[in-house]
Amino acid sequence: MNSNFDRSISDEDVFKRRATLLQRLHIDGWLLLILLALAAGSLFVLYSASGKNWDLLIKQGSSFALGMVGMLVIAQFEPRFMARWVPLAYIFGVGLLVAVEVMGHTAMGATRWINIPGVIRFQPSEFMKIIMPATIAWYLARHNLPPKLRHIAVSLVLILVPFVLILKQPDLGTSLLILASGAFVLFMAGLQWRWIIGAVAAVVPIAVAMWFFVLREYQKQRVLTFLDPESDPLGTGWNIIQSKAAIGSGGVLGKGWLLGTQSHLDFLPESHTDFIIAVLSEEFGLVGVCILLLVYLLLIGRGLFITAQAQTLFGKLLAGSLTMTFFVYVFVNIGMVSGLLPVVGVPLPFISYGGTHLVTLLSGFGILMAIHTHRKWIAQV
Amino acid sequence: MPQPIRLKDHEKDARLVRRRVVVGAVVVLLLTCVLIARLYYLQVIQYEHHTTLAENNRIHVQPIPPTRGLIFDRNGVIIADNRPSFSLTVTRERAGDWQQVLDVVVEALELTAEDRALFEKRMRQGRRPFEPVPILFELSEEQIARIAVNQFRLPGVDVVAQLVRHYPQKGHFAHSVGYVGRINEKELKELDPVNYSGTHHIGKTGVERFYEDLLHGEVGYEEVETNARGRVLRVLKRTDPKPGTDLTLSLDVKLQEAAEQALGGRRGAVVAIEPSTGEVLAMVSQPSFDPNPFVTGIGFKAYAELRDSIDRPLYNRVLRGLYPPGSTIKPMVAVAGLDAGVVTPQSRVFDPGFYQLPGHSHKYRNWNRTGDGSVNLEYAIMRSNDTYFYDLAHKMGVDRMHRYMSLFGLGQKVSLDMFEEAAGLMPSREWKRARYRQPWYPGETLILGIGQGYMQTTPLQLAQAVTLMATRGKWIRPHLLRSAEGKTPQQLMAEEVIEAMETPPDIVLRDPKFWDYGRFGMEQVMHGPRGTARKVGDLALYRIAGKSGTAQVVAIKQGEKYDRSKVQERHRDHALFVAFAPAADPKIAVAVMVENGESGSGVAAPVVKQVIDAWLLGEDGQLKPEYRPPVPVVEEASVSP
């Protein structure tokens, strides 16, 4: 009794469906609206967090504009067209990571950049944030679901190569995000629960064995500091102590915009980047953070909706992974700043200052838009 | 790429993914709840706690800098300690208009504009936010009182007690122990910001610099509650710093003073090494300077005076001074000649007062124009006969000469733990080709044989070369650190560091007796009937093995002002002398350089003897019991070939 199915689609119907401007431009209105809201909110909070620094604000505004343009450009591409280029992109991305290892530019004790003086300077690991889930999605979409053990094994190898390369840079935050983005594809592809449980169960004995047989004393020390930042109160722990006080003193309603004392006056050296949620919590209180979380949930909800609606398997898997990874950003950042999780360098998506993460995230949403807006077109063919 | 069309799986796949989307959504919601719960805990349940901390009071983590390790001489006499001192600090963030605050400080303490400029410079050396910057050290009680009176006009200004490095020995060890100074911008970038938070000083030269890691220790911290004005109200938690390690140096304060006295106010350098251990017992570079003003920040004028002084007190002559070694290397060249087989202990060279290369007309002069007649190796060392060594060098050739002299440490850094040692130069064919694009000429080999020409050595290298004569080729890098935490410097230093130094191998001669010929020649220099330094040797209560030398001063050093009387004096040769004693069982090896001293045996040898006396003789003027030979030695019984 599916009336929709029975009714033949006339040319006019098709025209009507595709008539709206947004659809013709391959823009998802919901996503755009939420992202614009976040951009506005980010500039608002950043103005306070940066100590009314207009230069910084203008830079962030430009990054948003640039990222939005990039997102809309990406949205124009047909997902199946993207899929065709994925294997090549993966090889290229891993090649760049190897190049970083061999000849990368070292800054602040980490080799993460490729620097061609006067031309460009970039972090290949950023590309991997998109390439990684796309690769696994491309690979698993070629086979029947749920994935067989052989496919899982190949996927794991594909995930572990860039993971290890980025871990060596060293950049724990990014490597974990990339690991997660690959793992989410497996999850979305219906990785059997027994495998998931088995993997989690295996982590524990492996970690214990590593601790006793592999790690050296100084490495253990580093892990301990990582797990308990407060044992290093002059380094990372410093930020945690300060950010907890800032968040806590914000209360339910906050102290008001520009009125936060802890985050402004005190020692929160990263108050406008990774620790910006502390400023937001202090000035806008629990209510402010909850509103932000609500906006994030709307974004994730839309992402999951797109996942469910996506017509190709590749689109489904990629959209699902991008959405879930986005949530990891949110969870890890807020968890870390509020002292729930160890400190790793993960920005608060769309709010933290910084051009690179904006461009990467917006590219991801561009792909989501592409998956969603090209759907009807595909349906007709 | 053809793909099988899997229509029948399509709906199943979609269902699977949809189920996972639902699971994902549930997980997202649950974890969001966790975040909200955490924020609720911080912002609602712990609200009171955090507000108290935030509103009137703030929690700060204050670093507690560790106290710097002390430095002792080998007998436990203190060379570097930490003295409590009151400093004036300014916290930029609390000072408001800190320029104005500085004006008030200058006015209240009646300081000069020069001081004001210095303060400003110190303030501009950025540190962590809210970290107090010390601008004035060693406040007097009156100054403290004046600050107290003006406190209301001085936001962010505090008087704090700090431990400040102090060198009670003043100028005695400025060139070996060095000094600490304020951390500069460049160092700030390279330092571990955590471990050095709260530390304002860092080793700049010498031992202080080389052993910075040991001396510094590990930072501690305390979590304190402060009021809005930054005053500490309460300490919440404290972790003590780990103080720096105390160092015991091999230097001996008494010997150092004796060596300085022996130089008698002349410009020069003295190095004394214990051959069996490689421990440096004394290291003098005269004139010296008081390192203490450098700790708190020396004034521009005082620094300019030191820097521009014609006597160059800041110049470390022991480690950086480069001189041709002159005849001091003849014993080493002789040993090399024996080992290379180009001479035997018995072979003789006739010295008419000069040497000529076969087929060349140029005469290479002996210092003794009349000539010494027929000389053998031992006699040649005793008389410092140039002709013999021209001949020997010619027979050896530059390549072998370079190889042997490098084994003695010439032309390379020899120390284990001295900062900024110069490598000197031991020329070779390759070096000359690279440096001048010219071939090596035979005449240049000849003058290498008497330690002239391109050769450049530091007094430390000479001391090490003579130490090798004393130890019969056993290599131990000279070092200043005796022990720290019961460990030797070699144990303290990382293996790869020691490996990277490429210590030359022990010198193993074809026949160990060759050492004796060289050593006996040196002994004859002091005690032989025609020895060049017999006047000094005759007075000694023990037998010395020594060798004089002269380093030619070719040109006036750049930057020296033209002053007729001084320039002439400064054109004179540098006097060198190396020695070890007692000759049979060496307990000390010494190298002395007296700038413009002219005569090695006349000027430098007495200095050497005074240094050795100070080490070997007791207060009664007799040999210390531990240095007396176990069996009474008859004069003739010493090592005679």
Q: Where are the domains of chain B?
A: 61-249, 319-573
CA distance A119 to A121: 7
Q: Count CA within 13 A, CB hemisphere, residue A356.
A: 15
Assess contact for B380 and B388: CB atoms under 8 A: yes
Please name which of B425, B127, B457 lies closest in space to residue B322, comparing C-alpha atoms.
Answer: B457
pLDDT of residue A133: 94
Residues of B with CB below 8 A from A308's CB?
17-18, 21
pLDDT of residue B251: 94
Asked whether the beta carbons of residue B221 and residue A234 sit closer than 8 angstroms, the reply is yes
Assess contact for A361 and A351: CB atoms under 8 A: no
Q: Among this protein's residues, is B361 annotated catalytic? A: no
CA distance B93 to B133: 11
Q: Out of A146, A297, A320, name the one closest to residue B24 (CB).
A: A320
CA distance A15 to A25: 14
DSSP codes joined into one string, B268-333? EEEEEEETTTTEEEEEEEES---SHHHHH---HHHHHHHHH-TT-TTS-HHHH--B--GGGGHHHH
CA distance B117 to B100: 13
pLDDT of residue B234: 77
Please name which of A344, A367, A179, A180 lies closest in space to residue A270, comparing C-alpha atoms.
Answer: A344
Q: Is B539 on the interface with A (CB under 8 A)?
A: no
Residue B242, min C-alpha distance to chain A (Å) = 15
pLDDT of residue B554: 55
Catalytic residue selected from B327, B428, B548, B601: B327
Asked whether the beta carbons of residue A251 and residue B60 sit closer than 8 angstroms, the reply is no
Q: Out of A142, A296, A340, name the one closest to residue B3 (CB).
A: A142
pLDDT of residue A258: 82
Tell how far CA B168 is from the center of its chain.
19
Best A80, A225, A242, A249 residue to mutate vs chain B (most B CBs within 10 Å): A249
Tell how far CA B16 is from the center of its chain.
72
pTM score: 0.68
Say yes or no to pLDDT of A103 above 80: no
Residues of A with CB below 8 A from B20's CB?
187-190, 320
- The CB density around residue B100, as the number of other CB atoms within 10 Å, is 13
Q: Out of A188, A244, A252, name the one closest to residue B17 (CB).
A: A188
CATH 3.90.1310.10 fits B61-249, yes or no: yes
Residues of A with CB below 8 A from B127's CB?
none
pLDDT of residue B612: 93
CA distance B354 to B360: 13
Tell which CATH classification among 3.30.2270.10, 3.40.50.11900, 3.40.710.10, 3.90.870.10 matches the domain B319-573: 3.40.710.10
Return the bridge partners of B165, or none.
Answer: B82
Say yes or no to pLDDT of A13 above 70: no
**For A197-250, how does the pLDDT look when each residue is reduced to its tens digit (9 = 90+)?**
888 888 888 888 878 877 777 777 777 777 777 777 776 677 787 788 888 888
Q: Is B242 on the interface with A (CB under 8 A)?
A: no
Strands B71-72, B247-249: pairing is parallel
Say yes or no to pLDDT of A377 above 60: no
ipTM value for the complex: 0.89
Report residues of chain B scoring pLDDT below 70.
Answer: 1-9, 55-59, 126-130, 227-231, 554-567, 629-641
Asked whether the beta carbons of residue B93 and residue A300 sit closer than 8 angstroms, the reply is no
List CB contacts of B527: < 8 A, sequence separation 6 or more.
B534, B537, B538, B543, B544
Asked whether the beta carbons of residue B63 and residue A144 sit closer than 8 angstroms, the reply is no
Q: Out of A144, A266, A338, name the one closest to residue B39 (CB).
A: A338
CA distance B263 to B268: 7
pLDDT of residue B567: 57
Interface of B with A in 3-42 (CB under 8 A): 3, 6, 9, 12-14, 16-21, 24-25, 28-29, 31-32, 34-36, 38-40, 42
Interface of B with A in 547-606 (CB under 8 A): none
Asked whether the beta carbons of residue A241 and residue B43 sit closer than 8 angstroms, the reply is no
Q: What dihedral angle (degrees, nearest 10) is formed by the CA atoms of B178, B180, B181, B183?
A: 120
CA distance A367 to A363: 6
pLDDT tier for residue A381 given thresholds of 50, 70 and 90: very low
Residue B24, min C-alpha distance to chain A (Å) = 7
pLDDT of residue A104: 64
pLDDT of residue A24: 76
pLDDT tier for residue A265 given thresholds of 50, 70 and 90: low
Residues of A with CB below 8 A from B36's CB?
286, 289-290, 293
Best B11, B32, B130 residue to mutate vs chain A (most A CBs within 10 Å): B32
Say yes or no to pLDDT of A290 above 90: yes
Nearest-10 crossing angle of helices A79-103, A149-167: 40
Q: Out of B13, B14, B35, name the one closest to residue A334 (CB).
A: B35
pLDDT of residue A207: 82
pLDDT of residue B77: 94
What tokens appear for B601 in the block? Answer: 């045996």
Residue A166, min C-alpha distance to chain B (Å) = 24
State which residue of chain A sits closest to B21, comparing Cα positions. A304
Q: Burial, B257: exposed, middle or buried (Cβ in 10 Å; 0-12, 13-18, 19+)?
A: middle
Q: Out of A188, A248, A301, name the one closest to residue B49 (CB).
A: A248
